Amino acid sequence: MGNINAKDVMNLRKATGAGMMACKKALVEAEGDFDKAIELLRKKGIASAAKKAGRETANGKIGSYIHMGGKIGVLVELACETDFVANTEDFAQLLKDIAMHIAAANPAYLDRDSVPKETLEKEMKIERETLLEQGKPAAIIDKIVEGKLEKFYEKNCLVEQPFIKNDKESVGDLIKRTIGKLGENIKVVRFARFEINAAGCSV
């Protein structure tokens, strides 16, 4: 990534509402030029999706996906603003892709806000203790822990996970691209993943 650091990526994320992976890719493509990176995201329709994020999503559909001969099953509630969009091929494809992704990637949470505070505190405590045992300087431990948390979100949160069909973008970026294309706010409301002989399910 050259001289592009996590702070640059976070600042671009705050400015555009785009996902971490999309911001990182845009900054690399723009060779660190912040304004150019914003323009790249706008052209891809990702940044514009953030403006629609507050709009009410009273319609949508529930999709399902069964994998491995009935060994894994997924239910997903995907919401949008109108029945018209809910009945489009693009919306149906997005719903199918998200359900397939959940079956394969088994996310534990929907997004960052869904992660219990105690879980985050536990993760941070473990990372800090590990770094201290490794003799890392106290001054840089917080920065390292912040980076570890970003990896935790990327691994465990549905919208942060690299999309199984294209790991260059996250599931959140996929949703934002569809928002840009269809012109309506779209969001995953909830999901459940069931697996034979597995303990519980993800919701």
CATH number reported for the structural domain that contains residue 28 in this entry: 1.10.8.10
Instruction: For residue 136, give the CATH number of its domain.
Output: 1.10.286
Does residue 196 fall inside a structural domain? no
Does residue 127 fall inside a structural domain? yes
How confident is the model over 1-26, as a mean pLDDT? 79
Does residue 172 fall inside a structural domain? no
pLDDT value of residue 104: 95
The vertex-141 CA angle with 138 and 144, nearest 5°, equals 160
Q: Are 14 and 171 in contact (CB under 8 A)?
A: no
- Condensed to tens digits (0 to 9), the pLDDT of residues 63-117 reads 999 987 889 999 999 999 999 999 999 999 999 999 999 999 999 999 999 999 9
Domain containing residue 122: 116-153
For the chain, the domain total comes to 2
Does residue 65 fall inside a structural domain? no
CA distances from 168 to 47, 160, 162 (A): 17, 12, 7
pLDDT surpassing 50 at residue 34: yes
pLDDT value of residue 1: 43
Query: pTM higher than 0.95 for the full model?
Result: no
pLDDT surpassing 90 at residue 25: no
Does residue 130 fall inside a structural domain? yes
Residue owning tokens 């990637």: 105
Does residue 94 fall inside a structural domain? no
pLDDT value of residue 17: 67
Does residue 22 fall inside a structural domain? yes
Residue owning tokens 């990526």: 9
